[in-house]
Amino acid sequence: MGHTATAQAGSGGLTATEHRLANGLRVVLSEDHLTPVAAVCLWYDVGSRHEVKGRTGLAHLFEHLMFQGSQQVHGNGHFELVQGAGGSLNGTTSFERTNYFETMPTHQVELALWLEADRMGSLLAALDEESMDNQRDVVKNERRQRYDNVPYGTAFEKLTALAYPEGHPYHHTPIGSMADLDAATLDDARQFFRTYYAPNNAVLSVVGDIDPERTLAWVEKYFGSIPSHDGKQPPRDGALPGTIGGQLREVVEEDVPARALMAAYRLPHDGTREADAADLALTVLGGGESSRLHNRLVRRDRSAVAAGFGLLRLAGAPSLGWLDVKTSAGVEVPDIEAAVDEELARFAAEGPTAEEMERAQAQLEREWLDRLGTVAGRADELCRYAVLFGDPQLALTAVDRVLEITADEVKAIAAATLRPDNRAVLVYEPTAAPEAGNEEEEAGQ
């Protein structure tokens, strides 16, 4: 069964239809004939928040295992078939979901659907100790390259562990620990797959130059016979008080290019009006070179070489406001921290100007248009709103809700949350004195 959405104000005329197969797979189709390409996106409702102590990193490990072959597609065949057909593909893991996606020439969409269905339905036929050990080593190496052996690489992990208390489902990050990766067994992986990689725990979106009726027929043909699974337990409760209630702090001495001040502020859950207000507040304060913190620290005081403030939106736990300041040579972190607190206090007392509100809303609107402007971005957003909020149609009107936020709401959320007693702080001190004029690149999270 399915229904067609009518174009809504702010959606740019975009529409999406929703369907559900008998086995529970939710399907979202969005027709767009601007270019002869289409995106296939599959979100599974499983991320690191579903993991238990001692088995962290399984969700991310499984993202890699999904590219190791299935019953009909052996070894590296998924990559080879998609790229050989002129397409691109990847997968990612977060706290709240794991996703897989292909962008294909129009006439190759059926191939992408068959490939995704084959591994959803038959991955266990190919999963063995060899592929498990192979991908375990790949993930461990990824951890070394992106986290352990790069400047500031463990900041995200350390701040998350500070911001969410021990035992909280978001206390650990998707990369997992080396010890837990070593401890994961083939039986752990098989049970994980049976529990979470079921059609009734997934949303499939297909966006672009498609014939919806024919596409839905392909989906039914390839996915319809895959059995559902009812063994999934809901994720542990991620609720926390609205503020931390004190300042948590850790000093890290490492071989980094410059001193750094990083902080995570507890902010409202994604999907709320308050989260949109917080997004606007952080955009005014630290979203780009026109922001208050950049103007104060980088341009005026020249005490920092980079200053940013952004929102990590989370649906199952409080979101995090992410502050990241890299100091200029010779500048001490307490001086940076005092300047940051002064700017935040001024903003909480006065709120944004009309010009700042207009600029911040325009910036978020542009980012929304960028996401929906490509078939891959739109497919991902439709899946996101379907999995996390139950309604893919919300993706098409998300910017309307941001544009409705008032300056008073932005001021109120800043006053309530952007305070010293509502943050986890990470201070980086170089083990060697930084050289004058030294600048660095930020490490990817």
Catalytic positions, written as ranges:
63
Nearest to 315 by CA among 256, 369, 391, 427: 391
What b/e readout covers 387-413, taking b as 16+ CB neighbours within 10 angstroms? bbeeebbbbbebbeebeebebebbbbb
> How many residues in the chain?
445
Neighbours of 121 (CB within 10 A): 20
DSSP 8-state assignment for residue 297: I
Sole residue written with tokens 């004939």? 33
Both tokens assigned to 248: 């948590």
Both tokens assigned to 212: 């919806």
Question: Treating both helix axes as pointing N-terminal to C-terminal, what angle do 129-143 and 58-65 enclose, rounded to 10 degrees?
Answer: 120
Q: Which helix (H) or strand (E) holds 314?
A: none
Give every CB contact of residue 243 below 8 A, 6+ residues apart in sequence: 266, 416, 417, 419, 421, 422
